[in-house]
Copies of this chain bind each other. A is one copy, B any other.
Amino acid sequence: MAPGTARTPLSSHRLIAAAVDLADEAGIDAVSMRALAQRLGVVPMALYKHVASKDVLLDGMVDLVLAEVEAPDPALDWRAAVRARVLGARRAVLRHPWARRAIESRTHRTAVVLAHMDAVARHFLDGGFSPDLTHHVMHALGNRIWGFSPELFEEGPAGDAPAPDPEQQAAVARELAQRFPGILAIATAATGGDLSSVGQGCDEQFEFEFALDLLLDGAERLQRSGWASTAHP
């Protein structure tokens, strides 16, 4: 840097924000201490004056994403509130596609993470759920409280040739039909019977809300029936 041009000083916050930008642009794998330092016009080791390790950097990135989720209207009943908060988290996570993997990889629970979990738990408690039932229901929701579902059919970068060869594709379909008829059936169901677009994936948003509602339905039913854990202390 040329002398005389004072550089905006680094800070933990600026650093984390830059990391989020970098991840948004180039994916989470592109976020290395070296790459991040270069983007900030600084030597790699300079970063360590502001974050203790890459792990806490990632913690900070997750916090920043979670800070984007807006709180639901307090007038909503428990079910609408949970739904709103979770779908809000989903919107935030979808804005940062790397966030899913980042959240899953975190081992420490930061205050921001705890705050989100706490908020969800309180929706249930305020709605009349027992702490016990709330606990189990939170477990049942699992990662879904962050707005994403455990990815079952996730595709890779999806950058392959889309339809390399109809002949070959037919062969794949035949093989699939013979060896995995169940998968074929549900895959074609997803595409309305169109065999040619089987690998296309499905409406993730629909699947997410379907599963979320299924779980909330079940929770509601248990709560109404005065569920209490029996086999469990």
Indicate if the CB atoms of B211 and A118 lie closer than 8 Å. no
Indicate if the CB atoms of B142 and A151 lie closer than 8 Å. yes
Indicate if the CB atoms of A186 and B121 lie closer than 8 Å. yes
> Chain A 166-196 against B: per-residue CB contact (8 Å), 1 yes, 0 no?
0000000000000111110111111010000
Which of A120, A132, A218 neighbours the largest number of chain B CB atoms within 10 Å of its CB? A218
Q: Contacts of A132 on B, CB cut-off 8 Å?
A: 186, 189-190
Q: Contacts of A181 on B, CB cut-off 8 Å?
A: 118, 122
Copies in the complex: 2
Q: How many residues of A contact B (CB 8 A)?
A: 63
Which of A104, A183, A187, A206 neighbours the largest number of chain B CB atoms within 10 Å of its CB? A183
Q: Given contacts A104-B104, A118-B181, A182-B122, are A149 and B139 in contact (CB under 8 A)?
A: yes
A–B pairs, 14, beta carbons within 8 Å: A104-B150, A114-B180, A115-B179, A122-B182, A125-B186, A131-B188, A134-B189, A136-B207, A138-B152, A141-B152, A142-B150, A143-B151, A150-B150, A215-B215
**B-contacting residues of A (Cβ < 8 Å)?**
104, 107-108, 111, 114-115, 117-122, 125, 130-132, 134-136, 138-145, 149-154, 156, 179-183, 185-190, 192, 202-203, 206-207, 210-211, 214-215, 217-219, 221-222, 229, 231-233
